[in-house]
Amino acid sequence: MSRISVRGFAVASATAVTAVGSVVGVASGSTAQNNDAEATASGTTLLADIPAGQQAQVQTASLTQQADVQAIAADASAKKDAEEAARKAAAETAIAKKEAAEKAAKAAKEAKERAEAKDAAASRSKDISNIPVSSSYTIAQIQAMARQIVPSGQFQCFSNIVDHESDWNYKAVNPSSGAYGMFQALPGSKMSSVGADWQTNPATQIKWGLNYMNDRYGSPCDAWSFWQANSWY
């Protein structure tokens, strides 16, 4: 390394690295690197200016530097691809979960509707002939009858309507309209579709009232929801 200072060798080595990289670029057809090579050749120390014993080391350093740059670029590309794949997978998972939840909700709704329809059908088929007939009935007796006829899950809604319409008075008459019975049927003779004793038998009225709520609204609870919004049903 005669006549070249340590500082001078360091500068020359760095410059040579650039020059070697430029030469490699020229070999691969890179215009930009070709320009760099020309600039290096015209204004800086070339590989030939480095002592022969150090040229191999400088060339190795240049190739290592290029390999590092390429490795960093490859890592960045791989990371970007991985992030995109993760986002896509997360989106697909979210969509699948949403569809599964909607499907489960639909199935639950349909099951509920089938159960309610089954209860309604069962209530229509209940036989009220085994309920004892009397000349008069207490509210407790009438409510006991209703519990035998109305599905348990619908009884409270059913009871709420009767409370507001007649307070469980099966002989209640509206002085203005003539509406009759626990459900204030207008005309009261509508209830004859269930039994001729509609004027005196609470069980007949209960059966008619339940049929009316099921047929018109779907269930006593649906009828009660309508009543709350309109104060009639």
Question: What's the CATH number where 162 sits?
Answer: 1.10.530
Domain boundary among 81, 108, 137: 81
**19 has a pLDDT exceeding 70:** no
The domain of 163 spans 126-230
For the stretch 1-18, pLDDT in tens is 444 444 444 444 444 444
Q: What is the pLDDT of residue 170?
A: 97
Distances in whole angstroms, Cα of residue 205 to Cα of each of 31, 99, 178, 232: 99, 46, 16, 18
136 and 76 in a single domain? The answer is no
103: in domain:
no
145 and 225 in a single domain? The answer is yes
Domain boundary among 81, 104, 134: 81
Chain-centroid distance, C-alpha 165: 41
Contact (Cβ atoms closer than 8 angstroms) between residue 16 and residue 41: no
For the stretch 75-95, pLDDT in tens is 888 888 888 888 888 888 889
146: in domain:
yes
104: in domain:
no
135: in domain:
yes
Q: What is the pLDDT of residue 123?
A: 52
Q: Is the peptide bond before 187 cis (omega within 30 degrees of 0)?
A: yes
120: in domain:
no
219 and 143 in a single domain? The answer is yes
133 and 186 in a single domain? The answer is yes
Report the domain count for the chain.
2
- List the one residue out of 129, 168, 163, 134 whose CA is nearest residue 148: 129
Which stretch of DSSP H or E encloses residue 88?
helix 52-125
pTM score above 0.95:
no
**114 has a pLDDT exceeding 50:** yes
Domain boundary among 81, 96, 116: 81
Which DSSP letter does residue 169 get?
A: -
